[in-house]
């Protein structure tokens, strides 16, 4: 082939075109553009949040209408989390194949079909079919939204922007609770079907909105489209120099020589999917092993500490505490959703100012206190069934609100931020999908066993168990998770490969007093 020509990824022979000299970005415009991209991508997380929130109240009416048992309720509520595994397992390869952007569109389309099936289900079997389809869509969305957001965000705002998926999960939960409360007055047969079917509406707008987003610059580089990647980076970086730094770091990670400065380049053959899995599980380096344990561990503890038990079964918890009417129960759950949504805004504004670790440790510490008091209050109520203890009821309601507040300021959003930014580029899609899979398995297990567990060890005993898990989580986070604030994504190999003392020294050298990475520092220099 002529040296002046090469094959692009569509097999078309094109003349070499040098990378364009793009003007320096307007900082205000780039920040707005990056925020818009992150918001559009993260809105797919509303799908999961709405499903969680609406099902907690809808199941009250579903159980009456379809006359199903508590065991069937557990399966109905929790099975979507296991169905997510199919979506998250496929999302890694799909996003590498068709791109991050179109994978988000696919997630919205699949959930749309699932919501329609649930909203028109006439029996338990058809309802479960709808849950299966919706679960696949949610699995895709959970995996791809934080990955895309992390890859398009500048380091200075990555924590803030990557927390958006959790923000929208919480917003979706609140919408689900409000839907329960507002539609509960309708007939038994119509009310819960509308609650579930309305979930199809936002997926349409999200699927269309995502089409206006740019593709991830890291995916573009892997396709050899350096010119397109540079244009996206300039639009989403604070300075032209930062855009160049990010492009160089991505080229290094993708194995593209730095002297390649053409619009299109031939990308070196990268690991096949099975070789990536081998590197993750069969023959990981000490650094990759540490990253994998950190990514899987934070997802495990996020769910094992009991958040889905509180969110999905809050009406049952409040009923156990002494609230009896459906209106009051659903009103209390709306309060839970409101507190959860407001609290997460705290995390979004402080993730890039004070770092991941301080928020994470504060969050889990507060959850431990709330869980101990909630478990104690529920135990006292359980042992005094003949009396209505107003103080114990107030304590339980307050501790549920405190628990979701502390969860939302740290463990909730940081799980997605942290796991989406620590995996190396070559392992990011598959590594993130593993974390999401663990997250959904643990969530599904707790959701599908909570009622049975409360019958076996009492509801207070169940929350004492969650207290123990949260305590172990705090120790794990304190000893195992390094700070990632302000780092380029390509620096994570070096960060996790160093000792604690060296990581602290590197942080002092590369991060200025304003928390920004100093230009000129790349992974190759570590």
- Summarised one tens digit per residue, pLDDT across range 439-484 is 888 988 998 889 889 889 998 999 999 999 999 999 999 998 888 7
Question: Hey, which residues does 186 pair with through a beta bridge?
Answer: none
Q: How many CA atoms lie within 13 A of 236 on its CB side?
A: 30
Name 190's Cβ contacts closer than 8 Å, sequence gap at least 6. none
pLDDT tier at 341, thresholds 50, 70, 90: confident
Hey, what long-range contacts does 189-195 have (CB within 8 A, 24 or more apart)?
189/65, 191/58, 191/61, 192/58, 192/61, 192/62, 192/65, 193/118, 193/119, 193/120, 193/121, 194/119, 195/54, 195/57, 195/58
Q: For residue 257, what is the DSSP state? A: -
CATH number of 23-267: 1.20.1250.20
What is the average pLDDT score of the chain?
Answer: 80
Residue 516 pLDDT > 50: no
> What gap in Å lies between CA 245 and CA 86, rounded to an integer?
36
Share of the chain above pLDDT 90, in %: 21
> Which class is domain 270-498?
mainly alpha
Task: Please check the confidence at residue 504 and state whether its pLDDT lies above 50.
Answer: no
Percent of the chain with pLDDT over 70: 86
The pLDDT, as a whole number, for residue 41 is 80
Whether residue 375 contacts residue 457, with contact meaning beta carbons closer than 8 Å, is answered with no
> Does the pLDDT at position 325 exceed 50?
yes
Tens-digit pLDDT profile for residues 352-366:
778 888 999 999 999
CA distances from 295 to 467, 474, 507 (A): 22, 15, 21
pLDDT band at 298 (very low <50, low <70, confident <90, very high): very high
Strand, helix or coil for residue 262: strand
Residue limits of CATH 1.20.1250.20 in the chain = 23-267, 270-498
Residue 490 has a pLDDT of: 62
With contact defined as beta carbons under 8 Å apart, do 438 and 76 qualify? no
Inter-residue contact 374 to 400 (CB < 8 Å): yes
Task: Report residue 398's pLDDT band, with 50, 70 and 90 as the boundaries.
Answer: very high
Cα-only R_g, the chain: 24
**What pLDDT digit, counting tens, does each position of 42-81 carry?**
787 888 788 888 888 888 899 989 999 888 988 898 888 8
User: Stretch 202-209: mean pLDDT, rounded?
Assistant: 82
- What residue has token string 């509960």? 184
Closest to 379 measured CA to CA, from 396, 366, 400, 399: 396
């Amino acid at each position: 082939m002529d040296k002046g020509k090469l094959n692009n990824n569509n097999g078309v022979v094109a003349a070499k075109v040098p990378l364009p000299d793009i003007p320096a970005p307007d900082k205000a415009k780039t920040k707005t553009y990056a925020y818009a991209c992150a918001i559009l991508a993260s809105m797919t997380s509303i799908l999961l949040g709405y499903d969680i929130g609406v099902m907690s109240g809808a199941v009250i009416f579903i159980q009456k209408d379809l006359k199903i048992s508590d065991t069937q309720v557990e399966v109905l509520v929790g099975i979507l989390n296991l169905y997510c595994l199919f979506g998250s397992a496929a999302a890694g390869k799909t996003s590498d194949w068709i791109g991050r952007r179109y994978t988000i569109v696919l997630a919205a389309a699949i959930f749309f079909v699932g919501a329609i099936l649930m909203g028109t289900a006439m029996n338990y079997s058809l309802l479960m079919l709808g849950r299966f389809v919706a679960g696949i869509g949610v699995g895709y969305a959970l995996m791809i939204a934080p990955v895309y957001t992390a890859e398009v965000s500048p380091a200075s705002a990555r924590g803030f922007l990557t927390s958006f998926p959790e923000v929208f999960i919480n917003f979706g939960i609140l919408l689900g609770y409000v839907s329960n409360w507002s539609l509960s007055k309708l007939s038994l047969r119509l009310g819960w079907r509308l609650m579930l079917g309305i979930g199809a509406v936002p997926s349409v707008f999200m699927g269309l909105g995502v089409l206006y987003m740019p593709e991830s610059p890291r995916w573009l580089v892997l396709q050899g489209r350096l010119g397109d990647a540079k244009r996206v980076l300039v639009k989403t970086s604070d300075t032209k120099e930062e855009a160049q730094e990010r492009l160089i770091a991505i080229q290094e990670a993708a194995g593209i020589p730095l002297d390649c400065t053409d619009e299109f380049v031939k990308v070196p053959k990268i690991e096949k999917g099975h070789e990536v899995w081998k590197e993750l599980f069969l023959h990981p380096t000490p650094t990759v092993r540490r990253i994998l344990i950190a990514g899987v561990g934070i997802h495990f503890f996020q769910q094992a500490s009991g958040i889905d038990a509180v969110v999905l079964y809050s009406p049952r918890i409040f009923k156990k505490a002494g609230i009896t009417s459906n209106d009051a129960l659903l009103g209390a759950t709306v309060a839970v959703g409101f507190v959860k949504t407001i609290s997460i805004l705290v995390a979004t504004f402080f993730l890039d100012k004070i770092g991941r670790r301080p928020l994470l440790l504060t969050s889990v510490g507060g959850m431990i206190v709330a869980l101990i008091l909630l478990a104690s209050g529920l135990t006292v109520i359980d042992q005094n069934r003949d009396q209505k203890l107003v103080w114990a009821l107030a304590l339980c309601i307050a501790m549920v609100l405190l628990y979701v507040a502390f969860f939302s300021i740290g463990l909730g959003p940081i799980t997605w931020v942290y796991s989406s930014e620590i995996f190396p580029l070559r392992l990011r899609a598959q590594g993130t999908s593993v974390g999401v899979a663990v997250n959904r398995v643990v969530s599904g297990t707790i959701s599908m066993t909570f009622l049975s567990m409360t019958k076996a060890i009492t509801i207070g005993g169940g929350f004492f168990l969650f207290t123990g898990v949260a305590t172990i989580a705090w120790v794990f986070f304190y000893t195992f998770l390094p700070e990632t604030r302000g780092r380029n994504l390509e620096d994570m190999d070096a960060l996790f490969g160093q000792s604690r003392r060296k990581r602290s020294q590197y942080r002092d050298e590369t991060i200025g007093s304003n928390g920004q990475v100093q230009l000129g520092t790349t992974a190759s220099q570590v």
